[in-house]
A = this chain, B = another copy of it.
Amino acid sequence: MTKVYISNVGMTKFGRWEEPLEILIEQAINNFYQYDNSQKFDLNAIFFGAMNTDEFINAGNYSTVVADHLALTPVPAVRIETASSTGAAVFHMGVLAVASGIYDNVLVIAGEKMTANDTPKTTEVLAKVISDNERTYGATMPALAALITQRYMHDYGLSRDTLSEVAVKNHYNGSLNPFAHFQKEITVEKASTSKFVAEPLRLFDCSPISDGAAAVLLTSKPTDVNVAGIGQATDRMELRFRRSMTSFESTKKAAESAYKNSKLTPDQISIAELHDAFTPFELISAEDVGFYKPGGAISALEAGETELNGVRPINTSGGLKARGHPVGVSGLAQIIELVWQLRSEAGKRQIDNVVSGLAQSTGGIANNNLVTILKKIDK
């Protein structure tokens, strides 16, 4: 258990925004300040996460832009990036900074504006997180995810309709989340017959391209939510070098560290937010963080264990699938959902008796993954 706590949190609705990125960040911060107006703190640093402002919005030096736009200069500001797990990485850097004792209050912000360009360009930018070599063969993120999915379906007998249940569950949860990109329920039939993105992955297996921003205040002063454990691990860039296609070593090692720090076991986790950029990744990640044995996430899903009223709900927010996936922000939004659930502020999707939560974020094609465990502190 670290001596780092979570104070205010805030985010924008995810989706397509007309406004530029600095306005999205401003809105996340407005929500953040409104979260607890009584909060008074000396801010020591801003840690800003974005995957790629240089190309998505044609602007660099963006941690400084954020400090300036929020009228927070001369507070130090730094940008953090680990591809699609950036939102978790920037949170972890904030935790290290507060744990150092050098900073007491760190404002962690993540923001990504992905719809400023046309879609082909966005796809091209996203593909840069894949190795040069894999890109040579025309690989994209959905194409690599499709290979993994094919193998998982084959090895564990996952059916098309069961896979669709992940999307159905997460869209239902998203329908109860006012911050979600998609707030509409879908059916298994709709998901199972939607158009192919990369066979066997269909449209409703893939998270959308979204804009959004999120903010969290980390503090050394005890609050009701403690950062109990953090863990991170990298893996080989290319799929062909991995020992397994159906399990992510980087998640397993990250989870191992986070459990060790937190002195908690998988059984003691009330809820989890898992990186379902592609629906099968929710199943794989649920297994990798130790909730189920390999392939075991399938029957748990079928039994409803991961639904809102199940024994251990997964992606109560709607996940990346329905809440949306502004690439550098999702990891931080996962953590905000855990905070809301721990504080009984999750509205219609509130789970009873949440005492701990785990967030798992995936960078690239699962080669830079992070796990964060939060714990409720009784005051």
Contacts and interface: CB of A to CB of B under 8 A. Distances in A.
Contact of A128 (B58, B89, B237): B58
Interface string A67-101: 11000111111111111000001001101110111
Contacts of A233: 73-76
Interface string A143-187: 000000000000000000000000000000000000000000000
Give the interface size class of chain A.
35 or more
A249 interface: yes
B99 A64 contact: no
A230 B103 CA distance: 12
Interface in A248-270: 249-250, 253-254
A76 B2 contact: no
A60 B129 contact: yes
Copies of this protein, total:
2
A54 interface: yes
A52 B368 CA distance: 19
23 contacts: A2-B102, A60-B83, A60-B128, A61-B363, A63-B81, A63-B82, A64-B235, A65-B131, A65-B237, A68-B237, A73-B233, A73-B234, A73-B236, A74-B249, A76-B232, A78-B82, A78-B93, A79-B81, A81-B81, A93-B97, A97-B100, A99-B102, A100-B101
Given A64-B368, A95-B100, 10 more contacts: A60-B128, A63-B81, A64-B234, A64-B367, A76-B234, A78-B80, A79-B82, A80-B81, A99-B102, A100-B101
Interface of A: 2, 45, 51-52, 54-55, 58-61, 63-65, 67-68, 72-83, 89, 92-93, 95-97, 99-103, 125, 128-132, 230, 232-237, 249-250, 253-254, 363-364, 367-368
